[in-house]
Amino acid sequence: MAGVWACAKVDDSVDLDLAGDTGSTVDGGIATDAGICSMHVPVSRLFVPADILILFDRSASMDMVHGTSTRYHALADVLVELVRSYAAFVHFGYQEMPGRQGCDAFAIPGCCASPPSVRLAADNAGLVTAAIAAAPPADGNTPTAGALDKAYDYYRDLHDGIANRYVLLATDGAPNCTLAGKLSSRDTFEASGKRQSGACYDAVDRIISLRNLGVQVIVLGLGVSEVDTSSDVADCLEDMARAGSALGPNEGPSYHSADTVPQLHRTIEQIFADAPPPSCIVQLPYRPDASQPITVFLDGQSIPRVEMGDGWWLDNSTIPPAVRVCGAYCDRMQRFQVGRIDVVFGCGASIEPIPGVPLL
C-alpha cells in the first residue's frame, strides 16, 4: 500500500534514510554536466542467507470456493508471488501434503506424508512455482504432523552451511491426520486446557522438535473464517504458529491470514534483510529550476512522472522538495528488488540553494 499512498499524495510514513552524492553518472550512459545536478542513491543491504521450505496443503478442501476463485488458487498466488519476489535472497524448497509418493506403510489413504520434492536451493523460483502449479488435483486429508516429521528429517540431514532455517506452512485448516497416519477430528484436552492428544497436538509436537533443531515454522492460514468456529481451527493454527517461533509458545507471533499477506511479506523480508525496507522518498539537496526536467532512474531504467499510478511525482510541500516513487515501482524498492536510484535534475542550469539546507 505504500506505493498507492505515495501516488495519492499522502505521507506513506516511511522515514527517509538515503544519502546522495554529486556529479555522478547514471547507469545507461546518461552523464551529468559539471556541478550538482544529479543524485546517485545506492540501496545497500546486508542480506543474511536463509532456507525456507514451503509446506503446501493440497488437501481436498483446497477446492472450496474462496472469493472469485478457490482456496488453492488464492494460496498458490500468494506463494508464487513470495517466491518470485525473494528467490534472489532466499533458498526456497517445496513439500506438499498429502504427499503422493514415499508414504509410510501404516498411514491410511489420504494421510500420506512425503519428503520435500524440490530441494532447497538458490534461485529456485522456477522449480518451486512449477511444483505449486502441479499440486492439483486437490485430494485427501491434512497430515500436517507427518509432513512436518519429514521436514524434520530433511533439515536434520541437510548440511548447507545456512543457520537461518524455516518451514512456511501454508494451509487452509487444522490438521486431521495424526503422526501415526490416522484420522483425528479434534484434539483431547487436559482439565487445564492443554492439548493432550490428536492431530493438532502431534503437529505442535513436531513443530517444537523442528524449533529445537533450529528450524522455525511460519504459519499461513487461509479460509479460517469460513469454517465452523467450534472446529478449533483458529486455535490450532495459533498454537502451531507460536510453537514455531524462536520466541517460544507464549511470545511467538500469530499465524498469518489472507488479510495479512503484506505482514507475511515483511516477515519474509525480516528473515534475510538487516534493516527496514528502503524509503520510497528521495530528498533533493536543492529546489531545481522549474524549467528544467527531472528524470528518475531505478537501476538505470527511467520511470514515468505521474499524478496517480505507477511512477513518481515531485513533492514541493517539503523543504527541500522530495521525489516520491509510488505504485509498483515503490513496491519493487521495498521488496529489495532495486539496487540503485538516480535522480537527474536541472543539469546545465544554475541551481539556487535553498536557504538553510547544506550542500551534499
Q: Please report which confidence band the pLDDT of residue 38 belongs to, taking 50, 70 and 90 as the band edges.
A: low
Q: Report the pLDDT value the prediction gives residue 166, as an integer from 0 to 100.
A: 94
User: Mean pLDDT, to the nearest integer, of 52-77?
Assistant: 90
Q: Is the pLDDT of residue 275 over 80?
A: no
Q: What is the pTM of this model?
A: 0.72
Q: Report the pLDDT value the prediction gives residue 103, as an integer from 0 to 100.
A: 81
User: Mean pLDDT, to the nearest integer, of 70-89?
Assistant: 88
CB-based contact 97:146 (threshold 8 Å): yes
Q: Report the pLDDT value the prediction gives residue 336, as an integer from 0 to 100.
A: 78
Q: Please report which confidence band the pLDDT of residue 251 belongs to, taking 50, 70 and 90 as the band edges.
A: low
In the structure grid, which three cell numbers stand for residue 35, read together?
Answer: 556541478
pLDDT in tens, 322-358: 889 999 999 888 877 787 888 887 554 333 434 443 3
pLDDT in tens, 211-248: 999 999 999 887 665 444 445 788 899 899 999 887 76
Average pLDDT of every residue of the chain: 79
Domains of the chain: residue spans and CATH:
2-45+276-345 (no CATH), 50-272 (3.40.50.410)
3-state secondary structure the chain: CHHHHHHCCCCCCCCCCCCCCCCCEECCCEECCCCCCEEEEECCCCCCCEEEEEEEECCHHHHCEECCEEHHHHHHHHHHHHHHHHCCCEEEEEEEECCCCCCCCCCCCCCCCCCCCEEEECCCHHHHHHHHHCCCCCCCCCCHHHHHHHHHHHHHCCCCCCCCEEEEEEECCCCCECCCCCECCCCEECCCCCEEECHHHHHHHHHHHHHHHCEEEEEEECCHHHCCHHHCHHHHHHHHHHHCCCCCCCCCCCCECHHHHHHHHHHHHHHHCCCCCCCCEEECCCCCCCCCCEEEEECCEEECECCCCCEEEEECCCCCCEEEEECHHHHHHHCCCCCEEEEEECCCCCCCCCCCCCCC
CB-based contact 91:49 (threshold 8 Å): yes
Q: Is the pLDDT of residue 30 over 50?
A: no
Q: Please report which confidence band the pLDDT of residue 250 belongs to, taking 50, 70 and 90 as the band edges.
A: low
pLDDT in tens, 82-140: 898 888 889 999 999 999 887 877 888 899 999 999 999 999 999 999 999 999 999 99
Question: What percentage of the chain carries pLDDT values higher than 90?
Answer: 39
What is the spatial distance between Cα 108 and Cα 138, in angstroms, rounded to a whole number?
17
pLDDT in tens, 150-165: 999 999 999 999 999 9
Looking up cell 509446506 gives 55
**Could you tell me which residue, 6 or 18, shows the higher pLDDT?**
6
Q: Report the pLDDT value the prediction gives residue 249, as an integer from 0 to 100.
A: 63
Q: Report the pLDDT value the prediction gives residue 360, as an integer from 0 to 100.
A: 33
pLDDT in tens, 164-216: 999 999 998 889 999 999 998 789 999 998 899 999 999 999 999 999 999 99
